[in-house]
């Protein structure tokens, strides 16, 4: 059967068709839909883990117990899971294990642009890099086979355009899932130093065998055409190469680690100009140069930053670019902002007013860093807000400064990796105010379930963790609930938290209005009372706009967008806004 589906959907479909039994991941664009699609399959169990390390560890267990398994995450998720990965590479697998990682060249929705091919080299594991939805589908099946044949975890790498673009996929015959033996093998799975030493040697031998495999596998194919130009490429870059130079010879790698040295050498020898086209790091180029193979065009002409395009490939060869129209330069910037009715808005309005130093985290609340609110001063990675605030407070203490930092973190991020930071804050006698925005979903990535939402990925009700109880158990005595829709109450609570020495936690429990479709009420502006002062615009709500009224510009509220949260009304000194529909 043929279907038109995205790379993420293709991977999920193939997991179900290739004997997959267990999947676990953590949301992160552009990987998220993969597990959401797996959740729709019959006969497959899957779950959101609280973070990527837990997800990978759970699939390690599933593999040991004999089930083909998949872990999904975005590129930065591998940093979190890396501790498990670096030893999983030693133990190998029992049933096939695929770690799917979605890279985001161009940073469409990520905090950095790291190239996961580095991890395949670092962990010495095979990596597949599909170039379209069909390959995404096929590479899952091939991935399980390679994983089992070579006793290794396998990384399946996608990039945003492979993950989200749709293409035709022909489904293969379904393999019925068969759960194998539950492996009891101490020297293989207990990585004490003595066993680990033996295993390291095996990893190196495995890599040699994989190198041989890379030479012959059809996953790496030569498309010989005009020998004037030969291009080594993989993944989405292959599509750009083909668009720019349909007549060039191409060595297209599906298995991007380890590299087929003999194949590359033979290919390079046959073409007059040898070019390497790869997004982000010079992973191929550095290895190919180290093999002593000449590279005529590579990273000297193609940036390490951002995505590759057909025009970039053409420009690298000094040819005229023909493609897309240039971006319109003078359009006004429209940075993203909180949804109308989002509870984060009230919190950041007050943090901005109090000029607090905010140690931020990753989630919808990160938008509090943008003007005109501009109330976030650092944001590093998931879970860093509390630990970073703790470090700031300690140095402030050493410097004799009295200002107390505020850490802002969401529920999903708190479960992911904020809890340990809070434990440290309590244990090490820290001095920070922590605001946990518990909107009961993983909002930024589209509203996924988490341990506080009361449901699991496949929809069943689940035990709901009470964050206040958890916070107290981690050693925090001062814990209070706030309602960030009430600005006066929020201001008083934050002032108290800042004035009270030691760790202090405030929890807002207003649900995500987008995920839970909460419509509170609707406001309207009395134009007679509105002075046009624009104080309300500080909350950056898209429901607010300026309209001509007499000789002035005054504020109007779009009734279709307003959620009635009332935060803007609380900033109006003229009492011009009121509820028109409750
Ligand atoms: C290590 C890592 N994994 C996943 C992501 C993707 N991601 C960005 S924000 C976020 C969670 C946001 O949820 P929450 O903290 O509850 O805040 P909300 O967006 O709901 O306000 C996720 C999963 C990431 N940036 N880094």
Residue 568 sits in a domain whose CATH number is 3.30.70.20
The residues that bridge with 447 in the sheet, in sequence order, are none
CA 79 vs. chain centroid, Å, equals: 11
pLDDT at position 581 is 73
Residue 336: pLDDT above 90?
no
| CATH assignment at residue 246 | 3.40.50.920
Helix (DSSP H) and strand (DSSP E) numbers for the chain: 20, 22
Q: Are residues 443 and 497 in the same domain?
A: yes
Average pLDDT, the chain: 96
Domain range enclosing 534:
522-581
Domains in the chain, number: 4
Q: Are residues 303 and 375 in the same domain?
A: no
Ligand 1 centroid–CA 412 distance in Å is 7
Ligand 1 centroid–CA 466 distance in Å is 19
Select from 443, 444, 507, 508 the residue to mutate for testing ligand 1; criterion: most ligand atoms less than 8 Å from CB.
444
Q: Are residues 37 and 165 in the same domain?
A: yes
Mean pLDDT on 42-56 = 96
The model's pLDDT over 415-427, given as tens digits with 9 standing for 90+, comes to 999 999 999 999 9
Nearest to 456 by CA among 74, 67, 45: 45
pLDDT at position 535 is 96
Q: Is 166 exposed, middle or buried (0-12, 13-18, 19+ CB in 10 A)?
A: middle
Ligand 1 centroid–CA 38 distance in Å is 20
In a domain, 321, yes or no: no
- The residue whose CA is least distant from atom 10 of ligand 1 is 363
Q: Are 262 and 215 in contact (CB under 8 A)?
A: yes
Angle, vertex CA 352, rays to CA 346 and CA 356, nearest 5: 115
Ligand 1 centroid–CA 75 distance in Å is 13
Nearest to 120 by CA among 197, 227, 225, 234: 234
Ligand 1 centroid–CA 448 distance in Å is 10
Q: Are residues 279 and 390 in the same domain?
A: no
pLDDT at position 326 is 62
In a domain, 298, yes or no: yes
The model's pLDDT over 129-141, given as tens digits with 9 standing for 90+, comes to 999 999 999 999 9
Q: Are residues 225 and 210 in the same domain?
A: no
Q: Are residues 160 and 302 in the same domain?
A: no
Ligand 1 centroid–CA 37 distance in Å is 19
In a domain, 337, yes or no: no
Q: Are 164 and 199 in contact (CB under 8 A)?
A: no
| 518 — pLDDT class (breaks 50, 70, 90) | confident
Q: Are 159 and 235 in contact (CB under 8 A)?
A: yes
Terminal Cα distance for the chain, rounded: 51
- Residues listed for the chain: 582
pLDDT at position 323 is 67
Nearest to 110 by CA among 79, 81, 76, 156: 76
pLDDT at position 195 is 97
Q: Are residues 39 and 106 in the same domain?
A: yes
Three-state SS for 106-147 is CCCCCCCCCCCHHHHHHHCCCEECCCCHHHHHHHHHHHHHHH
- What's the rounded Cα separation, in Å, for the pair 324 and 133? 23
Q: Are residues 109 and 29 in the same domain?
A: yes
Q: Are residues 494 and 526 in the same domain?
A: no
In a domain, 331, yes or no: no
Tokens 């963790």 sit at which residue?
A: 465
| CATH assignment at residue 35 | 3.40.50.970
- What residues does ligand 1 touch, defined as CB less than 6 Å away? 26-28, 74, 76-77, 80, 111, 362-365, 382, 410-413, 437, 439, 441-445, 512
State the closest ligand 1 atom to the C-alpha of 79, by its place in the atom list counted from 1.
1
Residue 325: pLDDT above 90?
no
The model's pLDDT over 247-299, given as tens digits with 9 standing for 90+, comes to 999 999 999 999 999 999 999 999 999 999 999 999 999 999 999 999 999 99
State the closest ligand 1 atom to the C-alpha of 381, by its place in the atom list counted from 1.
26
Mean pLDDT on 42-65 = 97
Select from 413, 416, 457, 518 the residue to mutate for testing ligand 1; criterion: most ligand atoms less than 8 Å from CB.
413
Q: Are residues 208 and 226 in the same domain?
A: no
- The residue whose CA is least distant from atom 5 of ligand 1 is 28
In a domain, 329, yes or no: no
Q: Are residues 51 and 166 in the same domain?
A: yes
Ligand 1 centroid–CA 248 distance in Å is 42
Residue 582: pLDDT above 70?
no
Mean pLDDT on 514-533 = 92
Q: Are 443 and 410 in contact (CB under 8 A)?
A: yes
In a domain, 322, yes or no: no
Q: Are residues 301 and 397 in the same domain?
A: no
């Amino acid at each position: 059967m043929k279907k038109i589906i995205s790379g993420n959907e293709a991977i999920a479909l193939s997991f179900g068709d290739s004997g997959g039994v267990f999947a676990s991941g953590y949301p992160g664009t552009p990987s998220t839909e993969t597990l959401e699609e797996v959740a729709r399959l019959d006969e497959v169990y899957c779950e959101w883990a609280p973070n990527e390390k837990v997800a990978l560890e759970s699939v390690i267990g599933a593999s040991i117990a004999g089930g083909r398994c998949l872990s999904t995450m975005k590129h930065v998720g591998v940093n979190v899971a890396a501790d498990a990965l670096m030893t999983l590479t030693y133990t190998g697998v029992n049933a096939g294990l695929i770690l799917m990682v979605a890279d985001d060249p161009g940073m469409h929705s990520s905090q950095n642009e790291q190239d996961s091919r580095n991890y395949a080299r670092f962990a010495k594991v095979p990596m597949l890099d599909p170039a379209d939805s069909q390959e995404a589908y096929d590479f899952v099946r091939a991935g399980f086979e390679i994983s089992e044949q070579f006793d290794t975890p396998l990384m399946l790498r996608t990039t945003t355009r492979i993950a989200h673009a749709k293409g035709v996929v022909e489904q293969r015959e379904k393999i019925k899932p068969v759960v194998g033996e539950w492996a009891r093998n101490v020297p293989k799975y207990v990585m004490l130093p003595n066993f680990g030493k033996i295993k390291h040697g095996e990893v190196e031998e495995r890599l040699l065998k994989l190198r041989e495999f890379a030479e012959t596998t059809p996953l790496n194919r030569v498309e010989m055409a005009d020998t004037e130009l030969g291009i080594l490429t993989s993944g989405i870059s292959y599509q750009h190469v083909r668009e720019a130079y349909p007549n060039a010879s191409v060595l297209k790698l599906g298995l991007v680690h380890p590299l087929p040295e003999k194949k590359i050498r033979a290919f390079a020898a046959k073409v007059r100009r040898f070019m390497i086209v790869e997004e982000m790091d010079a992973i191929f180029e550095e290895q190919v140069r180290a093999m002593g193979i000449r590279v005529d065009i590579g990273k000297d002409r193609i940036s390490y930053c951002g995505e590759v395009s057909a025009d970039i490939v053409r420009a690298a060869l000094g040819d005229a670019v023909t493609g897309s129209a240039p971006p319109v330069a003078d359009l006004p910037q429209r940075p993203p902002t909180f949804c109308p009715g989002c509870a984060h808005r009230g919190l950041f309005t007050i943090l901005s007013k109090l000029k607090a130093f905010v140690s931020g985290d990753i989630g919808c609340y990160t938008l509090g860093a943008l003007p005109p609110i501009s109330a976030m001063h650092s944001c590093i990675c998931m879970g860093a807000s509390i630990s970073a605030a703790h470090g700031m407070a300690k140095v402030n203490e050493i410097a004799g400064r009295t200002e107390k930092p505020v850490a802002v973190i969401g529920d999903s991020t708190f479960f992911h990796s904020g809890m340990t930071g809070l434990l440290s804050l309590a244990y090490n006698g820290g001095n920070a105010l922590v605001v946990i925005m518990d909107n009961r979903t993983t909002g930024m990535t589209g509203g996924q379930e988490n341990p506080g939402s009361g449901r699991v990925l496949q929809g069943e009700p689940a035990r709901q963790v009470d964050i206040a109880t958890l916070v107290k158990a981690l050693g925090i005595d001062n814990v209070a609930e706030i309602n960030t829709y009430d600005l006066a109450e929020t201001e008083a609570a934050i002032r108290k938290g800042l004035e009270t020495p030691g760790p202090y936690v405030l929890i807002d429990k207003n649900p995500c209005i987008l995920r839970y479709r909460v419509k509170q009420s609707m406001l309207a502006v009395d134009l007679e009372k509105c002075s046009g002062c624009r104080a309300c615009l500080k909350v950056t709500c898209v429901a607010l706009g300026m309209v001509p009224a007499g000789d002035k510009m005054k504020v109007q509220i779009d009734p279709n967008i307003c959620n009635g949260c009332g935060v803007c009304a609380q900033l109006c000194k003229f009492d011009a806004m009121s509820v028109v529909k409750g």
